[in-house]
Structure 1
């Protein structure tokens, strides 16, 4: 059930971005095998080994090339949790023109040092994968790179995953997720629509 809700919420986020005039693609980085916490035969560590976040760039490159071959003049990317590593790597390689990380995981301060495109990072106050202390370190690194436009915000009273794994029947959860989605879209509007 959580996977179905997650899929529906991801689709709604993609639709929100598309409603702002963007052609949106959502590649399957997990090759049809998203993590399922209910599968007791496949622990997270095993799944993660088979779905290394550092290898997502290899899936993303042909997608970006296809978009550009179809006339896309600029490409923006958003990474939620696991996807933050892929988005960061794309920004380091300058394969995209703007990036957004939402409750990122699997990235380091050194990764952020290498980013070469405008980047927004939206973190959660309650997050063990990227705690506020780490998000503040990201901000410090980005502040030292004024040539790269950046935005960093830690959302109070939310937990890791709040932008994609929220209860659509909880008005407060929906409100906080919508705030993050608006920042993401505004970031793309700023850096992709010229």
Structure 2
């Protein structure tokens, strides 16, 4: 598993995030919202926890779901050079090094620890998990039958990457997939496998197809490109509806 240049499509929105930075477990974390019973753990994509779009989405979810949203840093302090990406200076970004440092073996325990902290230490009654790109495998990991205790109550993944078939096989909670039409990370084969497997998992399943869109467009799409603004709004609304249904 590795990152590819499609993961680095970017467009930074306007607006100023309104949350605060602090700690969750041992990780730096952006937190927004004030609900003491319902929380969502948002696992960021390659652009990391400081990327403005991710924080603005977290702010939207806090207001519209009425939940507290946690966006921990799962890249150990590394943040991609957004300007280099937007200016197509790909040679300055070490994708192989990023992949090695953010492996499942390294980050999996951190992601589980953050979920446990929200439920066990902070006392939230309900917890959802939302993953963009890299975060797709992570939310499946939290929902896996291999966990010793139930960590999350529902998950949503948006143009997921790093997925393997076993991730889908082991999901134990209601799950949502938001999938662009063109996505080399979430291939037609894996999309088909998701459908086939979901029918036998005995959990609610919601799949939404976004025609004409590409990997990354639902969090980092260009508002000036035809259809991408509408797709981003539709994706945000779908996530809100999903978590309101299964967390409230």
Offset of residue 72 of structure 1: 0.7
SS of alignment partner, residue 71 of structure 2? coil
Which structure shows the bigger proportion of residues in helix conformation?
Answer: 1
Task: Give the equivalent residue in structure 2 for 1:27.
Answer: 72
Distance in 2, matches of 1:136 and 1:99, equals 19
- Once superposed, what is the RMSD of the aligned Cα atoms? 2.0
Aligned length: 191
**Deviations 1:58-86 (CA, angstroms, capped at 9, x unpaired):** 12223223322222101101110011111
Offset of residue 190 of structure 1: 1.0
CA contact (8 A) 2:116 2:151 kept: no
SS of alignment partner, residue 72 of structure 2? coil
Task: Give the equivalent residue in structure 1 for 2:98.
Answer: 47
Distance in 1, matches of 2:53 and 2:228, equals 13
The higher-RCO structure (CA 8 Å, 6+ apart) is 2
C-alpha change, 1:170 and 1:41, in structure 2 (3 Å) is closer
Task: Give the equivalent residue in structure 1 for 2:190.
Answer: 134
Structure 2, unpaired ranges of 5+: 1-9, 14-46
Task: Give the equivalent residue in structure 1 for 2:55.
Answer: 11
Which structure shows the bigger proportion of residues in strand conformation?
Answer: 2
**Deviations 1:38-61 (CA, angstroms, capped at 9, x unpaired):** 473552122101111454331222
Offset of residue 134 of structure 1: 1.6
SS of alignment partner, residue 156 of structure 1? strand
Structure 1, unpaired ranges of 5+: none
- What TM-score, normalized to structure 1? 0.89
After the TM superposition, which parts of structure 1 deviate over 6 Å for at least 4 consecutive aligned residues?
A: none
**Deviations 1:139-159 (CA, angstroms, capped at 9, x unpaired):** 1100122x2111112211000
Distance in 2, matches of 1:136 and 1:152, equals 11
Distance in 2, matches of 1:55 and 1:116, equals 23
**Deviations 1:106-131 (CA, angstroms, capped at 9, x unpaired):** 11222101111111011111011112
Task: Give the equivalent residue in structure 2 for 1:173.
Answer: 228
CA contact (8 A) 2:132 2:157 kept: yes
- What TM-score, normalized to structure 2? 0.71
